[in-house]
Amino acid sequence: MKPLLIDAHQDLAWNMHTFGRDYTRPVAETRRLEAATLTPQRNGDTLLGWDAYQHGRVALIFATLYVSPARRALGEWDMEAYRDMEQARARYRAQAESYLRLTDTHPSRFRLLRTRADLHSHISAWRAADLETPNLPVGLTMLMEGAEGVRSPSELPEWWELGVRTIGPAWAGTRFCGGTREPGPLTDDGRALLAGMAEIGFTLDISHMDRIAVLQALDSYDGHIIATHANAAALLPGTESNRHLTDDVIDGLLERDGIIGIVPFNRFLKNGWLPANGRQEVPLDLVAAQIDYICQRAGDALHVGIGSDFDGGFGVQETPHGIDTIADLHQLTDLLQARGYTQQDTAAILGENWLRHLENALEGA
Ligand SMILES: [Zn+2]
């Protein structure tokens, strides 16, 4: 039996809003419906869908609220963009409401997990389903990526009430801190946000935060800290992007018992890769190498997982050779076992590490 797969990053709501994607559909149906549209050109072919979740035993997803600043919009079609914090707030709220609608309308397909009790009942059902295709609802825990829509820390309880449990203060830079391609430290607003988050019990996602801001947050944040989707910069020689994790950031996260979700996105696995190079240039073993790198620094297999970011601006065309849907990430088990990892290690990496994190992080929920 394949282990449970827990994915710490999928931009489902962004896809639902931008491309009308319906994740209750099978992967092949979404691809067929989109074949004559501009969607494959804009976001590639989907890697996600109901059948792949079941076949891949994807029990739980960190489902994002993701909107971007208008200055970084991908085109006129990219409507999930904001000009100010009022617009950001409205768009983030609309995405959260889409998850509430999805789980209300399709309770047999998707389930919002708010509390530790929700997590327990959800996961025990998945563990008990001793079937290749369990036909169980996929659990969603909400993750806010960017946070510009939080106008003041006094609004944090409202987001908690909606179901958000993890917040990343950056995507691009925000008024809270430097972000991808926009370096900078934590600001006073950022410190106030983090203090408010810790008080309520949010987990901090440092993905996309600039290195300086992360190092400051590692020193000051009282709550749980993770990187839902980020790779080690050391395995991307020549990269100048601040999107990847430097060794001091990795070590700081490990000291704080953090977990890092590795991203199976070709440009984050091989520096300078372009679609024209072909997928053959990027074997899935490069994902295993990223996982192994974190495990070697940690001295165990307990601090790394998967943060696929699937459908988050790229499709199957930009994933490693041999991947067709999320279910194919189970090929990592053999690749890791070839590197000496035990069955217990690979189960931890594919899902159990994120479950342990959620178990701890939802203590007060
Ligand atoms: Zn991201």
- Measured in whole angstroms, the distance separating CA 299 from the mean position of its chain's CA atoms is 24
Whole-number pLDDT of residue 68: 96
Whole-number pLDDT of residue 307: 99
Secondary structure class of 324 (helix, strand, coil): coil
Distance of CA 146 from the midpoint of ligand 1 (Å): 9
- pLDDT above 80 (res 132): no
pLDDT-derived band at 279 (thresholds 50, 70, 90) equals very high
Between these two residues, 41 and 364, which has the higher pLDDT value? Answer: 41
Distance of CA 46 from the midpoint of ligand 1 (Å): 17
Distance of CA 288 from the midpoint of ligand 1 (Å): 20
Distance CA 48, CA 22 (A): 10
Distance of CA 128 from the midpoint of ligand 1 (Å): 33
Distance of CA 178 from the midpoint of ligand 1 (Å): 14
311-331: average pLDDT? 98
Distance of CA 180 from the midpoint of ligand 1 (Å): 9
Distance of CA 364 from the midpoint of ligand 1 (Å): 27
Distance of CA 132 from the midpoint of ligand 1 (Å): 31
144-193 pLDDT tens trace: 999 999 999 999 999 999 999 999 999 999 999 999 999 999 999 999 99
Q: What is the DSSP string of 167-234?
A: EES-SS--SSS-BTTB-----HHHHHHHHHHHHHTPEEE-TT--HHHHHHHHHH--S-EEBSS--BGG
Distance CA 190, CA 193 (A): 5
45-53: average pLDDT? 98
Distance of CA 149 from the midpoint of ligand 1 (Å): 16
Distance of CA 208 from the midpoint of ligand 1 (Å): 7
18-40: average pLDDT? 98
305-318: average pLDDT? 98
Whole-number pLDDT of residue 158: 98
Distance of CA 168 from the midpoint of ligand 1 (Å): 9
Distance of CA 39 from the midpoint of ligand 1 (Å): 19
Determine phi and psi for 141, rounding to 5 degrees. -120, 130
4-23: average pLDDT? 98
Q: Which regions of the chain does DSSP assign to beta strands (E)? A: 5-10, 58-66, 68-69, 81-82, 110-112, 138-145, 164-168, 203-205, 225-226, 260-262, 304-306
Distance of CA 145 from the midpoint of ligand 1 (Å): 7
- pLDDT above 90 (res 365): no
- pLDDT above 80 (res 2): yes
274-298: average pLDDT? 98
The 10 Å Cβ neighbour count of residue 271 is: 15
Distance CA 183, CA 360 (A): 31
In the block, tokens 């804009």 appear at 42
Whole-number pLDDT of residue 162: 98
Distance of CA 105 from the midpoint of ligand 1 (Å): 27
The sign of the torsion formed by the CA atoms of 126, 309, 177, 91 equals negative
Whole-number pLDDT of residue 130: 76
Whole-number pLDDT of residue 141: 98
By percentage, how much of the chain surpasses pLDDT 90? 98
Distance of CA 311 from the midpoint of ligand 1 (Å): 11
324-364 pLDDT tens trace: 999 999 999 999 999 999 999 999 999 999 999 999 999 88
Whole-number pLDDT of residue 325: 98
Please state the pTM of the whole predicted model: 0.98
88-131 pLDDT tens trace: 999 999 999 999 999 999 999 999 999 999 999 999 999 999 77
Distance CA 127, CA 357 (A): 17
Contact 317, 41 (CB under 8 A): no
Distance CA 235, CA 249 (A): 14
pLDDT-derived band at 27 (thresholds 50, 70, 90) equals very high
Q: Is 173 exposed, middle or buried (0-12, 13-18, 19+ CB in 10 A)?
A: buried
Distance of CA 243 from the midpoint of ligand 1 (Å): 9
Determine phi and psi for 36, rounding to 5 degrees. -95, 15
Distance of CA 307 from the midpoint of ligand 1 (Å): 10
Whole-number pLDDT of residue 131: 78
Distance of CA 229 from the midpoint of ligand 1 (Å): 7
By percentage, how much of the chain surpasses pLDDT 70? 100
The overall average pLDDT reported for the chain is: 97
211-257 pLDDT tens trace: 999 999 999 999 999 999 999 999 999 999 999 999 999 999 999 99
Whole-number pLDDT of residue 364: 80
Distance CA 327, CA 49 (A): 10
Distance of CA 130 from the midpoint of ligand 1 (Å): 33
